[in-house]
Amino acid sequence: MTYDAVIIGSGINGLAAAVHLAIKGWRVAVVERNAVPGGAVRTAEVTLPGFRHDLYATNLDAFMGSAFFARHDALLRKHGFAVVTSEHAFASAFEDGSWLGIDTNGEATAKRLGEENAADERRWRELAAAFPTAAPHLFALLAAPVPSWRAANVVWRAWREQGTAFLGEMADLFVASSRDWLDRRFESPKLKAMMAAWGTHLDCAPDTAGGALFPYIECFAQHANGLPMGKGGIDTVTKAMTGALEAHGGTLLTNAAATSVIVADGRATGVRLADGSALTARRAVIANVHPRHLYKSLVAGDVRDSRAERAANLRPGAGSMMIHLALNDQPDWRDPALKAFAYVHLAPSLSAMSRAYAEWAEGLLPAEPLVVVSQPTAVDPTRAPDGKHVLWVMARPLPAAIAGDAGGTIAARDWPSVKEPCAERVLDTIERYAPGLRGKILRRSVHSPADLERSNPNLIGGDTNAGSYHLDQSFVLRPAFGLTRYATPIKSLYNVGASIWPGSGTGAGSGYLCARMLAGQ
């Protein structure tokens, strides 16, 4: 079969590229190795019938704020896309039984923070009031290819409209560590921990340079807008995108693993599948895969370029464990107010986060893993039978190759043997904040870093970001200098996904930007 474009991988970036190109009149085919499309944006009943669990990603704030959604909002809703937004976005619980949390009620949030520290309340109010001015410039930059005149124009407009001091503040956000940025603005250790916890989602410990940006954006964006989650499951996005693709003449092939990109005279001309068949691509092949798989497998032997070599060696970040729980009731947090929050972070201090990352850097299982608990049914009861609940638990940072155990109690060194005792350690952590959780569990499904990579090869070592977000692998260096604008050293071959700027999450940035370049906007 002959198409204008063949896209390898049905993750959110691959689907975004496919939908946009199909709307522009391209004949598009998407090939997916798994039986179900979606990549890391999938929902499944992995515990008991009727309990719908988001397997990987579980919130849609990046998607709702994306340029792709802004352009195709009506089309996606036509094909069933729906969200439920929690006004109680996230909280951090602390070992003394207290907590701090952010919701869309500005007065309630500010007063809650003020009870902890009056000076912090004043500073929080100032930053929250300034966020609507800063956000358009920040999001415009994160939605621009880099390097590009478009990105340069964003910076120029920010300077023209807001002045030099504003640019200095924004530059500080992009390069400062969470600790440094927070120490200059706040006093309360609990407030600092609450904000810095978001940095760990992108592999940024409190002292990692460049780690301040994500906590700033997540905290103030969710304070302004709440935290959106897919109604019925995050796969509402995947279903809507595949529906839109097929409505515009696109083709989705599942159980169709790509084994190689066909290259002739230095140009990508198609894709060969595991069953021996081939799809011809007249204009483009777009690989929504990790650069390691692209350059070391799909085009191995067809490219000799130092940039491709650097991209293929993109360093993985910390691994994660996912634990999906079917519950007969919500967790009994030590303060029942936490039951209303979409996310509860169990990362009680900057030192606890730093210690966990230091242990991980040595290849050790952390003695106290950092735990993120999402309570989807607190936001969307349709995900479980009446009166029942699901819990989404992510624990990190975990090593791909285990050198030892910082806790001194787990002797095994392979993930098949370590998975269950490590899961018990994670549940022990939650029990300290929500006593009696184990008694509420009807069924659990545990996925180690090795399991995550096996189910989705782009998640190397269980790294849900498909590449560390440290400064040497971000902006014009993601995945390598000279390869940030989606084109590869092979003509008509493009690379998108979480490993490519603007990176991971549900924002669909690289897929949409690549498609816009190919289609002429």
Q: DSSP letter at 316?
A: P
Mean pLDDT rounded to a whole number for the chain: 97
Which residue, 505, 476, 508, is CA-closest to 67?
508
The answer to whether the CB of 383 falls within 8 A of the CB of 390 is yes
The arithmetic mean of pLDDT across residues 144-169, rounded, is 95
Per-residue pLDDT tens over the stretch 444-470: 999 999 999 999 999 999 999 999 999
Residues of the chain with pLDDT > 90, as a percent, come to 99
CA angle 24, 42, 75 (to 5 degrees): 30
In the structure, what pLDDT confidence band is assigned to residue 139 with cuts at 50, 70 and 90? very high
- At position 286, the amino acid (one-letter code) is I
In the structure, what pLDDT confidence band is assigned to residue 437 with cuts at 50, 70 and 90? very high
Strand partners, 398: 319
Angstrom distance (rounded) from CA 518 to CA 19: 13
In the structure, what pLDDT confidence band is assigned to residue 189 with cuts at 50, 70 and 90? very high
Per-residue pLDDT tens over the stretch 348-392: 999 999 999 999 999 999 999 999 999 999 999 999 999 999 999
- The beta strands (E) that lie in 18-127 are given as 28-31, 43-44, 53-54, 83-86, 88-93, 99-103
User: How many other CB atoms are found less than 10 A from the CB of residue 2?
Assistant: 11
Q: Which residues contact 428 (CB under 8 A, 6 or more apart)?
A: none
The answer to whether the CB of 43 falls within 8 A of the CB of 324 is no
**Does 147 sit behind a cis peptide bond, omega within 30 degrees of 0 on the bond before it?**
yes
Q: Which CATH number fits domain 2-44+67-82+233-314+466-519: 3.30.465.10, 3.40.50.300, 3.40.50.920, 3.50.50.60?
A: 3.50.50.60
The arithmetic mean of pLDDT across residues 337-355, rounded, is 98
Go through 106-138 and write b for each residue having 16 or more CB atoms within 10 A of its CB, e for each that does not.
eeebbebbbebbeebbebbbebbeebeebeebb
Per-residue pLDDT tens over the stretch 306-336: 999 999 999 999 999 999 999 999 999 999 9
Per-residue pLDDT tens over the stretch 234-278: 999 999 999 999 999 999 999 999 999 999 999 999 999 999 999
The two three-digit tokens of residue 370, written as one number: 């950092």
The arithmetic mean of pLDDT across residues 484-500, rounded, is 97
Query: Residues in the chain, how many?
Result: 521
Residues of the chain with pLDDT > 70, as a percent, come to 100
Strand partners, 285: 6, 493
In the structure, what pLDDT confidence band is assigned to residue 165 with cuts at 50, 70 and 90? very high
Angstrom distance (rounded) from CA 414 to CA 410: 11
The answer to whether the CB of 339 falls within 8 A of the CB of 378 is yes
Per-residue pLDDT tens over the stretch 78-116: 999 999 999 999 999 999 999 999 999 999 999 999 999
Angstrom distance (rounded) from CA 141 to CA 262: 35
Strand partners, 229: 84
pLDDT of the residue at 162: 95
pLDDT of the residue at 98: 97
Strand partners, 324: 392, 445
Q: Tokens 């909280």: give the residue.
A: 91
pLDDT of the residue at 138: 94
**Does 145 sit behind a cis peptide bond, omega within 30 degrees of 0 on the bond before it?**
no
Q: Tokens 């032997």: give the residue.
A: 301
pLDDT of the residue at 344: 98
Kindly list the domain boundaries of the chain, sorted by start residue. Answer: 2-44+67-82+233-314+466-519
Helix (H, G, I), strand (E, B) or coil at 340: helix
The arithmetic mean of pLDDT across residues 405-421, rounded, is 98
The answer to whether the CB of 344 falls within 8 A of the CB of 91 is yes
Per-residue pLDDT tens over the stretch 21-31: 999 999 999 99
- At position 496, the amino acid (one-letter code) is V
CA atoms within 13 A on the CB side of 41: 32
The answer to whether the CB of 280 falls within 8 A of the CB of 62 is no
Strands 441-447 and 319-327: antiparallel
pLDDT of the residue at 438: 97
What's the pTM value of the predicted model, to 2 decimals? 0.96
Go through 171-208 and write b for each residue having 16 or more CB atoms within 10 A of its CB, e for each that does not.
eebeebbbbebbeeebebbbbbbbbbbbbbbbbbbbbb
Which residue, 187, 209, 214, is CA-closest to 198?
214
In the structure, what pLDDT confidence band is assigned to residue 57 with cuts at 50, 70 and 90? very high
The answer to whether the CB of 464 falls within 8 A of the CB of 322 is no
